[in-house]
Chains A and B, each alone.
Chain A
């Protein structure tokens, strides 16, 4: 068994605790207009590769000692790692049995019941929440947010260290009312929960060029550090715990 990988990123220090390897699994149900990793939207494209599970696990061997000293481990990212459910389960089961710390970055679009045993093995889950308005959500990601909003409390109930991540994109959700709505909803569903605001960036543009695809709309802009600080303070006002993995 195996699956499609975009990248195996060792020495990853911003997606969870300690020094980690981030496994970028290809394939994604969403089509976010600002997407920074467009090569992850499909499994097969010039920037992805097939990898056997065994091969991936072997590649992690030499990194284990760095995980141990730093409290790190493996983070599954993408794309959307849950799109390749079997591949994700195999990797998770093997690493879990080895006592490796595990984290998952997800957009929240998955069949919760099918995935629950795998999710339960995660020490930490980064759960994206992009917009509360279903229509705006559909317009900019290709899907409404119903399943995402339903799944979030279920995931929380599994009891991992849950961090809700909001990609802050001006021209999409980078405004007071959109963010305020997210904070309010979250404070109600996961009181005191952890939240991380990630500013939009354009570092994926190179990849669009490589894939021969049009760039994200120029109407999306990067929020300023001051704006971000203000919104972080806003989240804290709702009793949320603002975190950062910088």
Chain B
């Protein structure tokens, strides 16, 4: 049960529309005007300090955890230093755009157009990136849906897990300041390398002092509010808040409450410094439990109040909004900031790490029902029954949380990426489904790559089906392919070309980040940056892991190649020229052929005919990408992630030989194409586990739908736990279950073609929903509503 306070905050979170605050952009810009000529790291650090010093202080009703990034409770900020162009272009329709709208007033718009944007003209990361990009890469990689990395030049990188264990909770920012001063005192001002370091340490001094200043201003405000507060209970809370803010983040936390407040201040620092995606809290239960246990022992906290604090933090994570372009919002839909919080799993020493805080996190997600943090769990073969029960119980609630990960495959992915075993064992999740570690600098979502485009260019003489424009390499007419192998070779030629451009997009952006956007605040949260005196953006972390290229459309391409092989070269129901024409016509006039294409083997049914094609494709992707190295000499990595990128990438993709119509969504992660895994979820699991998932160190994602009834009972949940353990023993990394609502079932009734894989339990057995008569479907909908 949520407390009334949390429920009230939750209601606001659910009902309020996010608003844009221009405060941060205003201060940031004014600060930069005053620091012309100074080193870029110092300028950015000074701007951060000025924000901490001058942003309005807002303590909202009932808050236990404080710290606002602007004047609104649900708030997004602007970062014109990365890009103002898209904001200028799009902000007039912020409130009306279909995906992730924001509120912004006319006064605000007039203000930023007059006072903010003119200063950044010619100075933003976006402009520099576009100016430097080679024309052929630009043609295929900027707002095309073919290759997409705009989150790396219209936004900051984010994708960081602050090191609470070894840095923040040990030292506090006060300790970081002393460390920086100590380093500075030992530097040689005649050595150019040391001068670089001096800039870095000076920048860290500024950001550390900034975040302490910010906290102290909250302490003052809370004390002042306490003086006039009529409710003595609230007044006491405000005084406690003031005491917390005086202690942290300057000093290491001494209580669970202080640690929670510390976490949020780090988040605020990250947001103000760069408005990041994937600023991950990391292994929350591991670093929070010692504070909880100590407080309990000292009778300094009750379990109920600790839970309320966790609930309050969950809402804080959810109230700030990642301000992004409409294009980015297509790829990261749902106001998702990807603050990934991981619980469960083995400790560095190899013990099971489950503890009371693990369960508090599961409970908070179940009860607060907030979209943040992204709750991930690590499940290992011998994890406690209570934990697996807790996980499957949460799945049964139908929120889609938690993201369930294999402890051992995550470990293996990190080993393959070059981590030492102890560090690999200590992994947490980043963003979506990326196994990550807190001493790491990595672009975990560097480029999204549309696999389907490569097939399109292979079968259409290098041209886009949608626009007719030449986008790929030269290719001969499809009708002249004499064998399946020739088709496959042509596909891989186009595919490798896309890979090459994806690399160019990344290294160009990386080079610019080094020059233009050092990250002193976040660098100070990463241990090795402080030791080496090097910013994260310049490779200061202990591990500089290669950027991750994410493949979109694995299932679509595997299914399509299988259809070509079967229809054209085995069953000979049509020739290549006819198939190519059918695709150009978006299947119009070729309906029979389309039905045959749809009936060809589909990935996700444990059918080696097509699964082997998917396996070869995934392996090829890894080998092709892994041969390239980034600006730090780290080999690039691969991933099959989800997010929502399969939708925009499907939009630019013409008809595909698997029977898919042009413009329809592509496929996500390692998941089957929607509606084509018509066997059982077990078969889908077996198909996806055939891929060598552990080589894709950027993570692999599997989404499966489940009828809520299957997991409505403890027994059903135990079976789900067994399915998960089986999937992981087969070698898969991740699975997430959608328990379908009756709303979905109604949609399935109206559009059965999209829901062919939807399994429902009927009576003692399970079957495909779409295969039931209307009246029986109605019966099941009625029952499901009841079960939910």
Q: Which A residues have a C-beta under 8 Å from some C-beta of B?
A: 9-15, 18-19, 22, 36, 62-63, 65-66, 68-72, 198, 201, 203, 206, 245-246
Contacts and interface: CB of A to CB of B under 8 A. Distances in A.
Interface string B748-788: 00000000000101111110000011001000000000000
Nearest 7 Cβ contacts at the A-B interface: A70-B722, A11-B680, A69-B722, A69-B726, A14-B764, A201-B763, A69-B725
B729 A65 contact: yes
Interface stretch (B77-85, B153-161, B502-510, B713-721): B713-721
Contacts of A19: 682, 719, 722-723
B175 interface: no
A10 B677 CA distance: 14
B682 to A, nearest CB: 5
A13 B682 contact: no
Contacts of A206: 772-773, 776
Contact of A198 (B682, B729, B764): B764
Contacts of B683: 10, 62
A66 B766 contact: no
A66 B682 contact: yes
Contacts of A71: 722
Contacts of B713: 246
B610 to A, nearest CB: 15
22 contacts: A10-B679, A10-B683, A11-B680, A12-B766, A14-B764, A15-B765, A18-B722, A19-B722, A62-B686, A63-B682, A65-B726, A68-B726, A69-B722, A69-B723, A70-B719, A71-B722, A72-B719, A201-B763, A203-B776, A245-B715, A246-B712, A246-B713
Given A66-B682, A70-B723, A206-B776, A14 B729 contact: no
Nearest to A246: B713
Given A65-B730, A68-B726, 10 more contacts: A11-B759, A12-B765, A19-B719, A62-B682, A62-B683, A63-B682, A66-B723, A66-B726, A246-B713, A246-B715
B274 interface: no
Nearest to A245: B715
A11 B776 contact: no
B384 interface: no
A71 to B, nearest CB: 7
A206 to B, nearest CB: 6
Nearest to A202: B776
Contacts of A63: 682
A15 B686 contact: no
A206 B767 CA distance: 13
A206 B722 CA distance: 33
A229 to B, nearest CB: 15
B770 to A, nearest CB: 13
A99 B686 CA distance: 22
A36 B763 contact: yes
B710 interface: yes
A9 to B, nearest CB: 6
Contacts of A68: 726
Contacts of B726: 65-66, 68-70
Nearest to B716: A13
A55 B623 CA distance: 37
B45 to A, nearest CB: 52
Nearest to B759: A11
Nearest to A10: B680
Contacts of A246: 712-713, 715-716
Contacts of A36: 763
B776 to A, nearest CB: 6
B305 to A, nearest CB: 38
B669 to A, nearest CB: 21
B763 A11 contact: no
Contact of B682 (A10, A14, A18, A201): A10
B606 A203 contact: no
Contacts of B729: 65, 69
The interface centre, meaning the residue of B679, B682, B773 with most chain A CB atoms within 10 A of its CB, is: B682
Contacts of A11: 680-682, 759, 766
Given A10-B683, A206-B773, A246-B716, A66 B722 contact: yes
Contacts of B723: 19, 66, 69-70
B713 to A, nearest CB: 5
A13 B773 CA distance: 23
A36 B716 CA distance: 24
B594 to A, nearest CB: 27
The interface centre, meaning the residue of B762, B763, B764, B766 with most chain A CB atoms within 10 A of its CB, is: B764
B719 A14 contact: no
Contact of B763 (A9, A13, A65, A203): A203
A9 B765 contact: yes
A201 B779 CA distance: 11
Nearest to A7: B765
Contacts of B606: 62
B762 A203 contact: yes
A206 B712 CA distance: 27
Contacts of B722: 18-19, 66, 69-72
A56 B725 CA distance: 25
Contacts of B725: 69
Contacts of A22: 765
Given A65-B726, A65-B729, A206-B776, A14 B765 contact: yes
Contacts of B718: 70
B355 to A, nearest CB: 25
B31 to A, nearest CB: 58
Contact of A15 (B715, B716, B764): B764
A194 to B, nearest CB: 15
A44 B715 CA distance: 36
A62 B690 CA distance: 12
Contacts of B759: 11
Contacts of B765: 9, 12, 14-15, 22
Contacts of B719: 13, 18-19, 70, 72
Contacts of A203: 762-763, 776
Contacts of A18: 719, 722
Contacts of A201: 763
A245 B713 CA distance: 10
A75 B683 CA distance: 19
A164 to B, nearest CB: 16
B585 to A, nearest CB: 36
A10 B765 CA distance: 9
Contacts of A65: 726, 729-730
The interface centre, meaning the residue of A72, A198, A203 with most chain B CB atoms within 10 A of its CB, is: A203
Interface string B693-730: 00000000000000000101101101100110110011
A14 B767 CA distance: 13
Contacts of A12: 765-766
A186 B729 CA distance: 43
A40 B683 CA distance: 26
A137 to B, nearest CB: 22
A139 to B, nearest CB: 24
Contacts of B730: 65
A239 to B, nearest CB: 24
Interface string B411-437: 000000000000000000000000000
B487 to A, nearest CB: 29
A63 B715 CA distance: 19
Contacts of A245: 715
A158 B119 CA distance: 88
Interface in B81-118: none
Nearest to A19: B719
Contacts of B716: 13, 246
